[in-house]
Amino acid sequence: DSGVTQTPKHLITATGQRVTLRCSPRSGDLSVYWYQQSLDQGLQFLIQYYNGEERAKGNILERFSAQQFPDLHSELNLSSLELGDSALYFCASSVGASGTNEQYFGPGTRLTVT
């Protein structure tokens, strides 16, 4: 158990809908990262937050947004869902945002868009 929690574990929804994925980092970790794992794109970095502020953006679609709250949990919002958004979404956390701080991954949320 990495100490990073993600809810829900599974999510099935229809095209055009909107969903919210939630992540709670390990106790004491200030940085949260979101990654998407799909069959065609592999593991891709989406976005990073550090202590409530957006720090880096990767290949995140405009339909997707995220935030980190004062208690450091983070949410990833996916809207106008398409079939191609079906994937495993991981949250990871690290103590800081530099140095040798390793990223510890949550169990992921499997999103299926039908």
Partner 1 sequence: AQTVTQSQPEMSVQEAETVTLSCTYDTSESDYYLFWYKQPPSRQMILVIRQEAYKQQNATENRFSVNFQKAAKSFSLKISDSQLGDAAMYFCAYRSANFGNEKLTFGTGTRLTIIP
Binding site for partner 1 (CB under 8 A): 2, 31, 33, 35, 42-45, 48, 55-56, 58, 88, 90, 92, 94, 97-105, 107-108, 110
Residue with smaller CB distance to partner 1, 14 or 100: 100
CA distance 106 to 15: 26
Residue among 85 and 90 whose Cβ is closer to partner 1: 90
CB nearer to partner 1: give 78 or 91.
Answer: 91
**Smallest distance from the beta carbon of 25 to partner 1, in angstroms?**
14
The distance of closest approach from Cβ of residue 88 to partner 1 in the complex, given in angstroms and rounded to an integer, is 6
Residues paired with residue 114 on neighbouring β-strands, in sequence order: none
Distance CA(102)–CA(94), nearest Å, equals 6
Q: Residue 84 in 3-state DSSP? A: helix
Cβ neighbors of 82 (< 8 A, separation 6 or more) are: 15, 113
